Amino acid sequence: MEANFFKQIAQMDIDSRMMLTISKATDSIIIVSVFIQNDGCGDKAKNIIPPFNLKGTPHELDAEFFGHIKKPIQAASGLISNMESFMKQLEEAQKQSAMEKEKTDNEKKECEEKDKKYKAAMLKADGLEKESKYREAWTALPKAADHPEHAETIRKRQTDFAMKFQPEFFDQE
C-alpha cells in the first residue's frame, strides 16, 4: 500500500508548522485537528487563530482531507506570515520615526543654540557701542557667514562701527 499523504503536505504552500491531532470519536468517526503555528511571528494575535477541525469516516477523510484543509491552512499560514512581515515593518517605521524625530529635535536645538549665540553677540556689541568701544563692538559682532539669515544686518553694523573707530588723519592737530 502506497500512501501519498506526505507528498500532498509537501506540495501545500505553507510557511508555518502544521500540527495534526487525530483521535477517534467513535468506532467509525475520526476527528482530525489541524493547527498552524509559526514561532517566528511576534504578533500575539496569531494565538487566537483556532485549529481547523474535520470529522468524518476514514473513507471520507481519505477522499477529501486535503481538499478541505488546503485553502484554510494556506490562508492561516499566509495570515501569520503577513502578521510577522507587518510587525517587522511596524518596528522599522517606529525606528525611522524615532530617528526622524531625534534628527528634527537636534536640528531645532542647533538652530535655537545658533540663534541664542547670535542674540548674545549682538547684545554684547550693543553694550560696547554704548561705552563707545567701537572696535571691540565690531569684533564682538557674530560672523555673517555663521548667520546668513542675518548677514545684511551684521554687515551694516560692522560698517557703522568701522566708520566710528577709523582714525581721521586730517582732523589731527
The C-alpha atoms of residue 130 and residue 173 are separated, in whole angstroms, by 27
**For residue 9, pLDDT beyond 90:** no
pLDDT for 5 equals 85
Averaged pLDDT, 6-15: 83
Distance CA(76)–CA(44), nearest Å, equals 14
Amino acid at 135: R
**131 vs 133: CA distance, rounded Å:** 5
Q: Is the pLDDT of residue 42 over 80?
A: no
For residue 30 the three cell numbers come to 475520526
Closest CA to 75 of 92, 50, 56: 50
pLDDT digits (tens, 9 = 90+) for 65-120: 888 888 888 888 878 778 878 888 888 888 778 777 888 888 888 889 999 999 99
Per residue in 47-78, pLDDT tens? 888 888 999 999 999 888 888 888 888 888 87
Owner of C-alpha cell 525606528:
95
Neighbouring C-alpha atoms within 13 Å toward the C-beta of 135: 3
Angle, in degrees to the nearest 10, between helices 58-130 and 151-165? 20
